[in-house]
Structure 1
Amino acid sequence: MPHFQKDARFFTKDWTITLPSHPDPNLKFIRLTPTDTAAFIRFASAAAASPPTPVPKSTETPPAALIPGARMQTQYAESHTLHHALDVYISLSGTFVGWGGVYAITAPNEKPSVANIGIKLLPEIRGKGLGKTLMRVLLRLSNELEVDVIEAGTMRWNSGMRGVARSVGLVETDEVKEVRGQGVVAEVMFKDIERERWRGLDMVVEFQDQGVSE
């Protein structure tokens, strides 16, 4: 396999990705920036998924929920030097219809360092193959991160995310995942992801520099 050279511009610049092989020329994957926070919050509310049955109430005080966009804003700024997080949104004919992120969930000095992959889609575009396409783009981008391990996880009831992960060949295992400050964030995991398999994904990247394309 040819030597893979990471490209720091994925973290230091904003960009747009298109896939020459995709039949829809209006499909774009755009780096999510703090200026998109309001649009992201609106999208996250519309794309929120709920378990099919009510979750039993707990007598324990639940951890504080992460404000939509807060992680993205913080890690966007830090990623310029740490190279540990990338967020992308799907633009379909100029409309924000999906989000995906690959981002570190361990502390900067923790070893091995681990990054998680997550995706959300608006209900009206689910089942059309865009989740699988987004997952492939994220797996390609995961090769740029300065982390040791890439994994994905979700709740058992989230058949959509589980199906997307399996559609690209990821192997599911039953394993509860807890994150400090957030509690249980996953009941099934996709681990031992061989991100190198997606280094050759055919995509065109348009980097932006102060509003000028490179």
Structure 2
Amino acid sequence: MAVYFGEKIKAARKAVGMTQKQLAEKIGVANTTVSNWEKNANRPDPDQIELLCGLLNIAPSILFGEKESELIIPPGFKPLPKMATVPRVGAIACGDPILAEQNIEDYDKVPADWRADFTLVCEGDSMMPRIQNGDVVAIRRTPSVENGEIAAVRIGDEATLKHIYLHADYIELRPENPAFPSIIRRRNEMNDVHIEGKAVGLCRSL
């Protein structure tokens, strides 16, 4: 007996414990759209397939078959890289691990070769022009970085993105934008600074 596209979506969705409403919200479509997919009434657009498969942890070839899953790439363009789904961290509760469930706001798709563990949304202009307000920055977890690298740093219950410079008796969190002052923590104050990870890429809306 043939298993249709919609039945495969439904089975994969249930396997990851997600409702139709939750799946629709993560893809950015109406609940009825997911329902219609599962009823085989229609199929997702090509730009939705990668996100759908990532959220359901299933390969496009499983849903469509190898030939049908091969998207046509126009001349002069490269195919999208293999993507990974990572949690987006929002407000951080003081003392909680940065990836604690209560800190996770959403999920983002980023290139798998970035080896990112989570993302943060940049707020403000302190890292302009390299990182702009609203950019989604991918972070690879590591407790230390090289001087000058951009890292996600937690100070108390807040996370910030800055260039890190470690010295014998102080740490400097330096913005990219020269209009903003560096954050300096000396001696015992250095204990309040926790490097959560290195910035490895960013996603920006056009």
After TM superposition, the score normalised by the length of structure 1 is: 0.23
Larger Rg: 2
Q: Which one scores higher on RCO, CA 8 angstroms, separation ≥ 6?
A: 1
After TM superposition, the score normalised by the length of structure 2 is: 0.23
